[in-house]
Every structure is written in structure tokens, then in C-alpha cells.
């Protein structure tokens, strides 16, 4: 018997390529495709995903949240542009120059410090100005624009912002896109103000996956998809909006499968309790499989007594609470199950499939969270 690993994530290279092709086609040849690898590449493993993305000429940029992620991109061979969407400490801003990063700007202090560093080194710095248009998150308000324009003009290394950006608050959660329209209007107004202030950005970007899929007018010069790269729709509402416009559900294929092996099989009599808190009790003789995955690995404890896994193409219900490193599945009705047989937590087995979307539904959350919280410690295996 050959047991390669007890618990792992498989990444389909073919699906990733397919999704990149779909997104590049949506973006069209004139736009820049910036792929999000934040949150450990949405749980898929940043090192593995970045190594694969280096092979695709369609991908010009990576977007990350943190400086640590930007460093990891460089360490894994990414030589093209990197946009850092999240904050960087002032004392760490020299990394923007040494690693050639493009930070999103939403603090005056950050911009001024970058200007100082850039002027001192005589190196131009590409920044992206994040505009607050109604997400109530990172971004600068209209009133703050003159203050920022002064800093841009003070430091020659800054010039004008390379990019102007915004992020939609309510594009994937609804089929009514009025609020997105309002945000887009505010964005265009703020761009006019920037022009009047004499700091016209070279490129504009607003489009997450849902915006890119649904609305041409959000695409501007660069698009920033995340979840769709990994083969997942941002939401049911996004798919519905797309479908009602005549689109077909063949744009994306899931890249990730999450698997483990059965590490113990046992028989329990009727009336036996299973797991912490004795939340499950058998009603008949039960065959139980112990699985080496728990909430430490990112399998949500909220899935206790709710989720299913797949074994030999059949559904096995999770019994009792999900533990820190272990959980239990009922295999009474699945014939022929053996020790170290493969178990699918997310993905296909025979004709059956469990999707990240189904798991998210059971856990009361969204596919993004189910994927992003898969522990970075789970080994990643790249397959064809
Ligand atoms: C995460 C993120 C994206 C990508 O969003 P998806 O819905 O995963 O496509 C785009 N822009 C910003 C600013 C983000 O934070």
C-alpha cells in the first residue's frame, strides 16, 4: 500500500490555466490582468500558485494584501509587477523600492515617506491612489484629495499617481447594481477632481471578479480578479446576473480539491456517543472512520454534525464535533471502505462532488472564507 500523504490539497494546473484564459478573454487584449494571490492565494498556497502564474504571459500583475505576501511572491520567482493593496508600516517602506512594489495609497504619512525615500534614491515610485466611493474601508475621501495632491507635487519621485482605484461594496451580494453604479459615478467625479488638481493617473482600476464578469464599464485599464482565478463564482447573485444576460456556466473550473485519508476504522454499537460534548449518539450499530483533519487545518467547527465528505464516490456524514486535529465520518452504508482510503472534503469522488459553495452553505459563510481559511500548513500538490 502506498500512502503519500495523510492530508493534502490538490491544485489542478489545467483548471487554473482555463480560468486565466477565461479572465484574459473577458479583460480583452488591451487591459492588464492583475491576479490576486492574497490570503495565501485564497487558501490554495501562495508559493505554488505564484510559481504556476509565472508561466502565464496573460498575467501581468499580482495583487497582495501585505508586504510579507509581496516578499513571498518575489521569493517564488515573480519578477513582474506587484500591487500591495493593504497597509505597510512606515519603517518598512524601503521594501517598496528594493522589491519594486506598487503600493495602494490611503494615508498621507505613507505617501510622504515614500516620496522622501524615492527622492533620496532618485527612483520613481508607482503608487495607486485608493479612492473612497462608498465601501467605507480603505480609501481617501474627496475632501482629502487636495492634501494628497500637494504631496504628489512635492516629491519628484512620485510624479502623479500611476493608478487610481476603488473597490465595490455591493456588487456580488445582489442582483441590483444601483449602488455599484453610484460608486462608479463617484469614482468618475473624483477622477475629474484629480485632473483639476493636476495629478492625472495613467490607469484606472475598479474591477474585482464580479465587476469584471458583469460590467464592461468597470474594467478600465486594469482588472483585479481574485476568487474567479481559482474557479469560483463570487456569489449565486453574480452567476444569476450573468446567466440572465445570456452567459453560460462554463467560465471557470475549481482549481482546488481538499483530501485526506482514513486513519482509523471502528465499529460502535447503538447508543454510543461520538466526539466532544457527546453531541451525536448512534441509533444503530455504526461503522465510523476517523479523519486526520480538524479546525486547526481550517475545517470549520461549525460543520460539526452538518457536513459530508466523499468516500468511494459516496457521501459520508460528519458525526459529532469537528475536533482540533480530527473528525469522524459515518461509513456504515458505504461498502468496502478500508484503512487509508482517500476522503474528499472538497472536490470530486466518482460521480459525486462537494463544492466549496456547499461547504460554505453548511457552515453559514461564503466560499471565499472556506477556501481562504484552509491552513497554509496543509501540503499542496500540483497535478495536471
Ligand atoms: C480581494 C480584492 C479583489 C479581488 O476580489 P474578488 O472578489 O476575489 O475577485 C479586488 N480588489 C481588492 C481591493 C480586493 O481587496
Q: Is the CB of 225 under 6 A from ligand 1?
A: yes
In a shared domain, residues 158 and 67? yes
* Residues 220 and 301 reside in one and the same domain: no
The reply to whether 182 falls in a domain is yes
> How confident is the model at residue 90, as a pLDDT?
98
Do both 76 and 156 map to the same domain?
Answer: yes
**Does the pLDDT of residue 2 top 70, yes or no?**
no
* Ligand 1 atom nearest 38 alpha carbon: 1
**Mean pLDDT throughout 142-149?**
98
Judged against a pLDDT cut of 80, whether residue 103 lies above it is answered with yes
Q: Lowest-confidence range among 65-79, 241-255, 364-378?
A: 241-255
The string of pLDDT tens digits covering residues 117-134 is 999 999 999 999 999 999
153 is catalytic: no
Residue that is written with C-alpha cell 447573485 in the block: 237
In a domain, 249, yes or no: no
The active-site residue, picked from 38, 130, 259, 380, is: 38
Does residue 266 lie within any of the structural domains? yes
The answer to whether residue 276 is catalytic is yes
Range of the domain at 275: 256-383
What pLDDT is recorded for position 3? Answer: 54
Give the per-residue pLDDT at 327: 98
Give the percent of the chain with pLDDT over 90.
96
- The pLDDT score that the predictor gives to residue 240 is 93
> What is the average per-residue pLDDT within 144-160?
98
In this predicted structure, the answer to whether residue 331 has a pLDDT above a threshold of 80 is: yes
Q: Is residue 197 part of a domain?
A: yes
State residue 264's pLDDT score: 98
Q: What is the distance between the alpha carbons of residues 139 and 2, in angstroms, rounded to a whole number?
A: 53
Q: Is residue 62 part of a domain?
A: yes
Distance 339 CA to ligand 1 centre (A): 41
Mean pLDDT throughout 195-221?
97
CB 313 within 8 A of CB 322: no
Q: Are residues 50 and 153 in the same domain?
A: yes
Ligand 1 centre from 224 Cα, in Å? 6
Q: Residue 4 pLDDT > 90, yes or no?
A: no
In order, the DSSP letters of 83-142 are EE-S---GGGTHHHHHTT-EEEE--HHHHHHHHHHHHHHT-----EEEB-SSS-SS-B-G
Nearest-CA residue for ligand 1 atom 8 is 226
Of 237, 290, 231, 288, which is closest to residue 264 (Cα–Cα)?
A: 290
- The x, y and z cell numbers of residue 359, run together, are 461547504
* Residue 258 CB burial class (10 angstroms; 0-12, 13-18, ≥19): buried
pLDDT above 60 (res 100): yes
End-to-end CA distance of the chain: 23
Ligand 1 proximity of 224 Cβ (cutoff 6 Å): yes
Q: Which of 244, 272, 294 is the last residue of a domain?
A: 244
Residues 324-340, mean pLDDT to the nearest whole number: 98
Residue range 357-380, pLDDT digits in tens: 999 999 999 999 999 999 999 999
Average pLDDT over residues 70-85: 98
| In contact, 191 and 231? CB cutoff 8 Å | no
Task: Answer yes or no: is pLDDT of 1 > 90.
Answer: no
Cα gap 12→20, rounded to integer Å: 13
Q: Please work out whether the CB of residue 370 comes within 6 Å of at least one atom of ligand 1.
A: no
Task: Report the percent of the chain where pLDDT is more than 70.
Answer: 99
- With a cut of 80, say whether residue 96 has pLDDT above it: yes
Tell me, yes or no, whether 297 and 342 share the same domain.
Answer: yes
CATH for 120: 3.20.20.10
At 134 the pLDDT is 95
Exactly one of 154, 217, 266, 276 is catalytic; which is it? 276
pLDDT average, residue stretch 47-63: 98
Q: Among all chains, which residue has been given the C-alpha cell 500611476?
A: 162
Total structural domains within the chain: 2
> How, if at all, do strands 327-330 and 314-319 pair?
antiparallel
Is residue 238 within 6 Å of ligand 1 at its C-beta?
no
pLDDT-derived band at 148 (thresholds 50, 70, 90) equals very high
Same domain, 371 and 223: no
Same-domain check for residues 159 and 38:
yes
Report the C-alpha gap between 299 and 293 in whole angstroms: 7
Average pLDDT over residues 215-225: 97
In this prediction, residue 248 carries a pLDDT of: 80
3-class DSSP assignment, residue 121: helix
CA-closest candidate to residue 298, choices 44, 12, 13? 44
What are the tens digits of pLDDT across the range 161-191? 999 999 999 999 899 999 999 999 999 999 9
Q: Which residue of 34, 42, 85 sits with most ligand 1 atoms within 8 Å of its CB, as the best mutation to test the pocket?
A: 85
Q: pLDDT tens digits, residue range 256-296?
A: 999 999 999 999 999 999 999 999 999 999 999 999 999 99
Q: Are 360 and 291 part of one and the same domain?
A: yes
Amino acid at each position: 500500500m502506498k500512502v503519500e500523504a495523510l492530508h493534502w490539497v490538490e491544485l489542478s494546473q489545467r483548471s487554473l490555466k482555463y480560468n486565466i484564459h477565461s479572465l484574459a478573454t473577458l479583460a480583452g487584449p488591451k487591459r492588464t490582468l492583475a491576479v490576486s494571490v492574497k490570503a495565501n492565494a485564497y487558501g490554495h498556497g501562495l508559493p505554488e500558485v505564484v510559481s504556476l502564474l509565472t508561466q502565464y504571459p496573460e498575467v501581468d500583475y499580482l495583487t497582495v494584501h501585505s508586504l510579507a505576501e509581496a516578499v513571498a511572491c518575489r521569493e517564488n520567482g515573480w519578477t513582474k509587477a506587484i500591487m500591495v493593496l493593504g497597509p505597510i508600516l512606515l519603517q518598512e517602506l524601503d521594501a517598496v523600492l528594493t522589491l519594486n512594489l506598487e503600493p495602494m495609497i490611503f494615508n498621507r504619512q505613507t505617501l510622504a515617506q515614500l516620496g522622501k525615500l524615492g527622492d533620496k534614491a532618485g527612483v520613481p515610485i508607482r503608487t495607486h491612489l485608493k479612492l473612497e466611493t462608498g465601501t467605507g474601508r480603505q480609501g481617501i475621501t474627496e475632501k482629502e484629495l487636495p492634501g494628497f495632491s500637494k504631496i504628489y507635487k512635492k516629491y519628484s519621485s512620485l510624479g502623479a499617481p500611476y493608478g487610481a482605484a476603488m473597490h465595490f461594496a455591493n456588487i456580488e451580494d445582489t442582483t441590483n447594481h444601483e449602488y455599484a453604479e453610484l460608486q462608479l459615478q463617484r469614482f468618475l467625479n473624483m477622477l475629474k477632481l484629480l485632473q483639476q488638481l493636476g495629478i492625472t493617473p495613467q490607469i484606472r482600476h475598479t474591477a474585482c471578479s464580479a465587476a469584471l464578469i458583469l460590467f464592461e464599464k468597470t474594467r478600465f485599464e486594469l482588472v483585479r480578479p481574485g476568487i474567479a482565478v481559482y474557479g469560483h463564482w463570487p456569489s449565486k447573485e453574480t452567476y444569476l446576473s450573468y446567466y440572465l444576460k445570456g452567459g453560460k456556466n462554463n467560465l471557470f473550473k475549481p482549481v482546488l480539491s481538499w483530501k485526506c485519508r482514513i486513519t482509523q476504522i471502528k465499529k460502535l454499537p447503538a447508543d454510543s456517543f461520538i466526539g466532544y460534548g457527546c453531541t451525536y449518539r448512534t441509533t444503530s450499530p455504526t461503522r465510523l472512520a476517523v479523519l486526520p483533519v480538524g479546525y486547526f487545518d481550517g475545517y470549520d467547527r461549525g460543520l460539526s454534525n452538518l457536513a459530508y465528505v466523499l468516500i468511494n464516490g459516496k457521501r459520508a456524514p460528519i458525526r459529532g464535533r469537528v475536533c482540533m486535529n480530527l473528525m469522524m465520518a459515518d461509513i456504515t452504508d458505504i461498502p468496502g471502505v478500508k484503512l487509508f482510503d482517500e476522503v474528499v472534503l472538497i472536490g470530486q469522488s466518482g460521480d459525486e462532488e462537494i463544492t466549496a459553495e456547499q461547504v460554505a452553505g453548511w457552515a453559514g459563510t461564503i466560499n471565499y472564507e472556506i477556501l481562504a481559511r484552509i491552513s497554509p500548513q496543509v501540503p499542496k500538490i500540483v497535478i495536471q
